[in-house]
Amino acid sequence: MAQVKSLKNLRRPAVVAAFGGWSDAGDAASGVIDHLAEITSAKLSFAMDPDDYYDFQVNRPTVATTSGGERTLQWPTTEVLVAPLPERDLVLIGGPEPNFHWREFSSALVSAIRTVAPEIVVFLGAMLTDAPHSRPVPVNASATTEEVAAELGLEMSTYEGPTGIFGVISADCTVLGIPSASLWASVPHYVAEPPNPKATLALLDRLEDLLDTPLDTGELPEQAALWESQVNELASEDSDISAYITALEERRDENQPEPQGEAIAAEIQRYLRRRRNPPASGLR
């Protein structure tokens, strides 16, 4: 990736952040960052010094071989990337959740976010729940202030309890008056092994709605359909698992028997947005 010297003077910038680990069931949230970075040929702005924030016995460095046959050592780190879209620029923040010095880590990233001066910061997460894999992936959207909630039509966050690093960063953004929101996908606990392209696609679609910007889904729809088919096949081989999933489906259908009006409207708006402004794979 070529280096970007500055995060200033970006076009209608928005920041999208996800961290691997505790808040990233099935790698669904970090999958959005990886997908957007790939389809836009995102450029690296800077990376956090791994020595300051990571326990290498928890997040170990990895050895890899390049296409040219060269052996390389890759250290765990958080990267800040600039992803150009036809209508605006996204700043992507992604990496493993840090092990040390969370306040210093947050301060460094929030300083970068202030330089970006984004319209919105969106934090992505995924949690293990009892949602059935065969139904649409629930994505909970919330805001941290009443002003942002009213502007974007979101609920206010009411969560109380342990939080991840983006809870710390979000709190620091709120103190500085930087608008932020969060999107959480529900990942079936009985198929937690990553990746989960269906949950990644659900987060990407909801992110598109929130930003009102077409986002190229690439091969995610096909990957999501294949994933669901493979889970169906595995479940059919175990009668207990199959019965459990059926019970989850019945419970879900009882609580939500028909597609909700808001979900249908969002799908229509997404279709019209993409037809009016076809999502391109970034600016080359």
pLDDT in tens, 109-128: 999 999 999 999 999 999 99
**Of 61-75, 169-183, 204-218, 263-277, which gets the smallest average pLDDT?**
263-277
Domain extent listing, the chain: 14-276
Q: Give the model's pLDDT for residue 154.
A: 93
Domain 14-276 annotated CATH 3.30.499.10: no
Q: What is the dihedral of CA 16, 20, 25, 26, to 10 degrees?
A: 90
Mean pLDDT of 55-60: 95
Q: Give the model's pLDDT for residue 274.
A: 62
Q: Give the model's pLDDT for residue 255.
A: 83
Averaged confidence pLDDT in the chain? 91
CB atoms within 10 A of CB 70: 8
Digit-coded pLDDT (tens) for 11-48: 999 999 999 999 999 999 999 999 999 999 999 999 99
Helix 197-211 with 220-236: angle, nearest 10 deg: 140
**Given a cut of 50, is residue 282 above it in pLDDT?**
no
3-state secondary structure the chain: CCECCCCCCCCCCEEEEEEECCCEHHHHHHHHHHHHHHHCCCEEEEECCHHHHCCCCCCCCEEEECCCCCEEEECCCCEEEEEECCCCEEEEEEEECCCCCHHHHHHHHHHHHHHHCCCCEEEEEEEEECCCCCCCCCEEEEECCHHHHHHHCCEECCCCCCCCHHHHHHHHHHHCCCCEEEEEEEEEHHHCCCCCHHHHHHHHHHHHHHHCCCCCCCCHHHHHHHHHHHHHHHHHCCHHHHHHHHHHHHHHHHHCCCCCHHHHHHHHHHHHHHHHCCCCCCCC
Mean pLDDT of 167-184: 96
Mean pLDDT of 51-74: 93
Mean pLDDT of 211-226: 97
Q: Give the model's pLDDT for residue 256.
A: 72
Helix 220-236 with 239-255: angle, nearest 10 deg: 120
Digit-coded pLDDT (tens) for 125-136: 999 999 999 999
Mean pLDDT of 199-203: 98
Q: Give the model's pLDDT for residue 1.
A: 42
Digit-coded pLDDT (tens) for 219-268: 999 999 999 999 999 999 999 999 999 999 999 998 875 555 555 455 55
Higher pLDDT, 248 or 69: 248
What tokens were used for 204? 């990407």
pLDDT band at 68 (very low <50, low <70, confident <90, very high): confident
pTM value surpassing 0.85: yes
Mean pLDDT of 274-281: 60
Phi, psi (deg, nearest 5) at residue 232: -60, -45
